[in-house]
Amino acid sequence: MKPCPDYEVLLTLHASGALEPAEQAQVQAHLATCAGCQSEARQLTGVLGQVALPPPTPLEEARQEALPRQVVSRWRREQVKQAMRLRNGGALLALAAAVMLVLTVTLPGKDPSRAEPLSTAGVVTSETETLFEQWASADPLQDELDLSGGEDEAGWDELDGDADLASDDLLFLP
């Protein structure tokens, strides 16, 4: 006889002992009335009985009991190693900072006691500003168009009318 299709999964779980109490009661009530499911349950129990693990040996039990202690001790060792690395790294950084401080103080170079006074920096800034203002106000074309400085050239004020403008002095033809 074949087992009921609705109970196949429940019978497997029943044989392995993995059913909830409500499901266990439901399967027990069904097994009392169904011969096909009874034979399937006996067959599954026999197969799962052969697959069951043997009881642990005393050595295996001792290892299982010692396992939490080993895990905790290994974790503590790792924590101590990590703390040592951090401490040593911090000490090395502090040592490097101290060496840099000593080297900057003792190496020849600019002496901080011979530093220029702050007022000199203000003078340099004001001189720079003055030079910039002179440059900004300068007209780069002033020397080229200055007609008043030449003896044989007429200035802008001396030019009269259209006749003066048509003279050969002002024409720049090749």
- Position 145 pLDDT exceeds 60: no
Residue 76, CA distances (Å) to 58, 60, 70, 79, 130 in order: 28, 24, 10, 5, 71
Decide which of 1 and 73 is more confident: 73
pLDDT at 159: 53
In this prediction, what percent of the chain has a pLDDT beyond 70? 70
- H-state helical runs in the chain: 8-16, 21-31, 35-51, 58-106, 118-137, 142-145, 161-165
Q: Report whether pLDDT(111) > 80.
A: no
What average pLDDT does this structure show over 113-117? 59
Average pLDDT, the chain: 79
Instruction: Enter the tokens of residue 124.
Output: 């340099």
- Contact status, residue 154 vs residue 147, Cβ threshold 8 Å: yes
What is the rounded CA–CA span in Å between residue 33 and residue 173? 129
CA dihedral 40, 41, 44, 46 (to 10 degrees): -110
Q: Two tokens at 133? A: 């203002």
Mean pLDDT of 89-101: 94
Tell me how far CA of residue 32 lies from CA of 81, 97, 154, in angstroms: 64, 84, 137
Q: How far apart are CA 68 and CA 61, in angstroms?
A: 12
How confident is the model at residue 84, as a pLDDT? Answer: 95
Residue that is written with structure tokens 């109970």 in the block? 7
Provide the percentage of residues in the chain whose pLDDT is more than 90.
Answer: 36
pLDDT at 45: 87
Mean pLDDT of the region 22-36: 91
CB 30 within 8 A of CB 7: yes
Residue 1: per-residue pLDDT: 72
Tell me the two tokens of residue 2: 């074949």
Q: What is the pLDDT of residue 51?
A: 78
